[in-house]
Amino acid sequence: MRSLRDLKIPDFKFPKMKMEGIENIGEVKVDYDKVEKEKASKKDRKNYPGTDYKTIKEIFLESTEKYKDKEFVLEKPDHKTPYQEFSYGRFREDVFAFGTGLEEYLNLKKERIVIFGETTYEWYTSYISLLCGSGIAVPVDKELPTNELINVLQRSRAAAVIYTAKKKEEVKKIKDSVPFVKYFIEMYSEDELSGRDIGYETIAKKGKELVEQGNKKFIDIEIDPEEFKLLIFTSGTTSSSKGVMICNRNLASNINAVYPYVKIYPEDRFFSVLPLHHTYESTIGFLLPMAIGSSVAICEGLKYIVPNLQEAKPTCMLAVPLLVENLYKKINATIEKSGKAGLVGSMIHVTNALKTVGVDIKKKVFKEIYDNLGGNIRIIVSAAAPIDPKVGKWVQDIGIVFLQGYGLTETAPIAALTPDFDPRVGSAGKAVVGDEIKLHNPNEKGEGEVWIKGKTVMLGYYEDEEATNDVMHDGWFNSGDIAYMDKDGFLFITGRSKNVIVTQNGKNIYPEEIEIMLSHVEEIAECMVYGKEVEGEKELVISVKVIPNYEKIEEKHGKDLSEDEIRKIIWEEIKKVNKQLTSYKAIKNLEIKKDEFEKTTTMKIKRFAEIKKDKENQEK
């Protein structure tokens, strides 16, 4: 399944940072007794106490009762209106009402139901209603084209579609093609049942009436931890999507697995910026804070990220590398314009030195950066792809805990994570509690395929026993990723086995490694390294497709440059990178790309699609 096409980070901007007063740290008093105690405690730092949840319903019932008067979800009705708060108690009532309406009023028992749309409060209530009921949730990418939405509905044999108002036109287009769908349910709509159309609010109202009359059939449903409850169609590093079957045990185990590595509190507020159909966001960005009693503020969209951060004032944010790297570039660009980049660099060294002796004044020194991120941010988690360690180190240098996670839809999703008490920048983490990770057939460098075993691993691929058997081996799931592991079990991802370029003499080249080096080139906005098949050549030619950073090129090299001049400028920068690579890894061919890369919703370039287009163009 193709996911989000041509995804591009909008050009969000931070206000100009003056970094005033950064030189005047003031007198710092050191409590040496406290310093020594902290040093001693860090030496013996162990995992935090864990949990043993079996189902999401168990988590839902416990948290919505324990934190019933506390805010849970914050949503903006529109851009100009302040965030509206929904409490845990309200969330509980709304799930009971909607879930009862689905099961008892519409009689959608044990059915597959698609959720289609952007992140909303009613997306959350729909999702939990299905996880806590008898049906199966099928969350899909809100950017799916109509033909692929029809395909998902057909493959999953969905009985209903719950959708947002923004997706109304897409839903209208597909209705005649999916006569087997019983109901189309529009969120935030009060429309009465008309044919197959009905408003979410009407269902919730009918459900609430049934609950008030004593109907507790939905509320009393017992969930089997091993029962197939969630169907996720992969977005795609392969040419055809697979349906991943997830059970409550997978999701609950993810919550149990994260608790020992990261200390999160009910006072924490998560910032939801990634798409909810992806398990990274729906599990770690929603189910985890629900288990802890934290709140979740919904970002209106990437172009509103700065004002939303400043209004919601979150403490935790899940991100993908492209988003973290853009935050890093945008913030540092404003600092450079202030003329204080050198001073900020010096203050990083000073504050790092002070922190080693137990004095942390980073939040005070870098207050202006914090204020632009809302003022309270303390944790940023990056996952879904490798990130330039320089960026992660900078996040830590300004005082924010920077964690990296690793996993796949097939592990629902977290399989490895860096603990907050040992955040090794550059590593994807170590196996979470309850999972094992081993490297299969490592080479002379210790790099091998990442195999995962444990409670987070999926039930299998939906109606595809052959594909399941291809990746499952005596309980071990073959991720297809390549990594090496340090002596402490921390994983370092070097590439995907399907992306690896193998030379004639057996040398392996991982494109991701070179792409990270090219990301330092200011004249390059985005790039993709691959092995190009060239007629008459036995060896694949190491090539790179580049989208130029025209704004930076103009700033550094002047206006009105020809395409040849731009190409020459970028090639000169690539030659500098080549000098840092062993000869067989050097880039031999540059292609300037004029359109956007096709991407998944986690902002990874769809290599197979780009390479396929390249071959098709050669054949013309």
DSSP string of 12-60, one letter each residue: --PPPP--TTTT--------HHHHHHHHHHHHT--PPP------HHHHH
- Phi then psi for residue 416, to 5 deg, are -145, 150
Both 467 and 524 in one domain: the answer is no
Q: Are residues 142 and 197 in the same domain?
A: yes
CB burial of 543-561 (b: ≥16 within 10 Å; e: otherwise) equals bbbbbbbeebbeeeeeeeb
Which CATH number covers residue 205? Answer: 3.40.50.12780
Token output for 568? 């020459």
d(CA 187, CA 570): 48
Nearest to 234 by CA among 245, 224, 223, 218: 245
Beta bridge partners of 228: 247
Whether residues 511 and 453 fall in one domain: no
Q: Is 26 inside any structural domain?
A: no
Q: Do 353 and 445 have their domain in common?
A: yes
Which residues 6+ apart lie within 8 Å of 127 measured at CB?
115, 137, 139, 276, 282, 286
Inter-residue contact 429 to 416 (CB < 8 Å) = yes
Closest to 148 measured CA to CA, from 103, 178, 108, 184 = 178
Helix (H) or strand (E) holding 336: helix 321-338
DSSP code, position 605: B
Q: Is there a domain that residue 238 lies in?
A: no
Quick check: 410 and 477 in contact, CB under 8 A?
yes
Is the domain of 340 the same as that of 468?
yes
Instruction: State the residue range of the domain holding 545.
Output: 501-619
Q: For residue 37, what pLDDT is reported?
A: 60
Residue 247, in any domain of the structure = no
The Cα–Cα gap between 215 and 102 comes to 13
**Cα dihedral sign, 497-503-509-511:** negative
Report how far apart, in Å, the C-alpha atoms of 162 and of each of 49, 114, 155 are.
38, 6, 17
Residues near 162 by beta carbon (within 8 Å), at least 6 away in sequence: 113, 114, 115, 116, 117, 122, 126, 185, 187, 200
Within a domain: residue 298? yes
Cβ atoms of 3 and 275 closer than 8 Å: no
pLDDT at position 235 is 54
430 and 532 part of one domain: no
In terms of domains, do 421 and 570 share one? no
Mutual angle of helices 88-100 and 56-66, in 10-degree steps: 130
Place of tokens 């890093």: 328
Tell me the per-residue pLDDT of 279-330, one tens digit each, with 9 for 90 and over: 999 999 999 999 999 999 999 998 899 999 999 999 999 998 888 988 998 8
Query: In total, how many domains does the chain have?
Result: 3
Residues 336 and 399 in one domain: yes
The low-confidence residues of the chain, meaning pLDDT below 70, are 1-14, 16-44, 235-240, 503-508, 601-602, 618-620
Q: What is the pLDDT of residues 592-614, one digit of tens each?
A: 998 999 887 667 788 878 887 87
Is position 185 within any domain? yes
Q: Mark whether 376 and 476 lie in a shared domain.
A: yes
Beta strands in 252-365 (DSSP E): 269-272, 295-298, 316-319
- Using CA atoms, how far apart are residues 112 and 161, in angstroms rounded to an integer? 9
Q: How many CB atoms lie within 10 A of CB 118?
A: 17
Q: Choose one of 475, 496, 517: the last residue of a domain.
A: 496
- Domain end, chosen from 496, 512, 529, is at 496
552: domain CATH number is: 3.30.300.30
Contact 83, 107 (CB under 8 A): no
Domain presence at residue 401: yes
Residue 582: inside a domain: yes
Yes or no: say if 60 and 95 are a contact pair by the CB < 8 Å rule: yes
182 and 62 within one domain: yes
Q: Are residues 334 and 357 in the same domain?
A: yes
Cα separation, 481 vs 457, in Å, equals 15
| Residue after which a domain boundary falls, among 222, 254, 276 | 222
**DSSP code of residue 510:** -
Whether 250 is in a domain gets the answer no
- The percentage of residues in the chain with a pLDDT greater than 90, rounded to a whole number, is 69
- The pLDDT score that the predictor gives to residue 30 is 54
Q: Inter-axis angle of helices 56-66 and 121-131, to 10 degrees?
A: 130
Q: Is residue 330 located within the same domain as residue 436?
A: yes
